[in-house]
Amino acid sequence: MHDKSASPSWSLGPATSLPGWFDIQGSQLAFLDIYRLEVPDIDSVKSVIQGLLHDGAISYCRFHYAEAGMAAYVVTSTLPHGRTEAEEFSLQLQRERGNERLINEASQYERCVVQTLEGPWGPIIRVRIVDIDEGTLEAPFPVERRLLEERLGVIQSMSCHWLFANGRSRFEIAVYSRPNERFPHDTPAAMEMRLIDMGERMLLSLFALTPRKSSVPGM
């Protein structure tokens, strides 16, 4: 998660079509003058919302895949001065484990799952949440996470999140989906696999197209 101490504000955006505030070159998204990733199935993207949140502290980009009932997000912010990547990972993991416990204690099923992975830049936190609201421009997902009321036996939505740090930057890549008529016999496992596939394509392309922090000037 990102520091949300300031009130939400859009200092740039939102934009509703390609191209926009982020530098989109072909099928790639470039941001912070350093980072680059591949946008999955960019020809299927119907709209983009992008801009700065919380007085410019958080950069935000949302790709909407209307026909598939999915959306993909890239959110970045800067680590507090003096905080290391290891400290950030520890704090994020503690926060996400706490969220996992609170959500599941209040639910009738395992609604939230938190895992840790190893990546080329270091450890990654992966979170899966069932029945989560996509939010509004005033409280945009995934910066804000609001749960939907449970409906037993019905999956209303699902999200997967990857959180990690590189140098002075923290990242969250998230993918969101609701049930869609393109997948009439969908299962929770199948929906989760679609989310993981899209999110990991974005994640792996970021690692492949962007140098590690030691190679980035000023890091």
We report the CATH number of the domain holding residue 63 as: 3.40.1000
Whether 71 maps to a domain, the answer reads: yes
CA-CA distances (angstroms) from residue 182 to 31, 37, 39, 98, 119?
A: 32, 27, 21, 35, 32
| Per-residue pLDDT at 49 | 85
Alpha-carbon distance of 179 to 112, in angstroms, equals: 18
Domain count, the chain: 1
| Per-residue pLDDT at 66 | 84
Whether 76 maps to a domain, the answer reads: yes
Alpha-carbon distance of 210 to 215, in angstroms, equals: 9
Mean pLDDT by groups of 10 residues along the chain of 219 residues: 40 34 74 83 87 81 88 93 94 96 92 95 96 84 91 90 93 92 79 95 93 49
State both tokens at 155: 């999956």
State both tokens at 213: 């922090």
Q: Using an 8 Å Cβ cutoff, are 140 and 64 in contact? A: no
| Per-residue pLDDT at 75 | 93
Alpha-carbon distance of 106 to 67, in angstroms, equals: 33
Domain of 50 in residue numbering reads as: 23-210
| Per-residue pLDDT at 85 | 93
Which helix (H) or strand (E) segment holds residue 104: the answer is helix 85-105
| Per-residue pLDDT at 12 | 32
Alpha-carbon distance of 133 to 146, in angstroms, equals: 5
Whether 61 maps to a domain, the answer reads: yes
| Per-residue pLDDT at 22 | 61
pLDDT tens for 76-132 read: 998 999 999 999 999 999 999 999 999 999 998 899 999 999 999 999 999 999 999
Whether 35 maps to a domain, the answer reads: yes
Q: Positive or negative CA dihedral for 150, 156, 162, 168?
A: negative
Virtual CA dihedral for 30, 123, 72, 145, nearest 10 degrees? Answer: -120
| Per-residue pLDDT at 1 | 54
Which residue carries 């101490």 as its tokens? 5
Whether 15 maps to a domain, the answer reads: no
Whether 218 maps to a domain, the answer reads: no
The whole-model pTM stands at 0.85
DSSP 214: G
Whether 1 maps to a domain, the answer reads: no
Whether 39 maps to a domain, the answer reads: yes
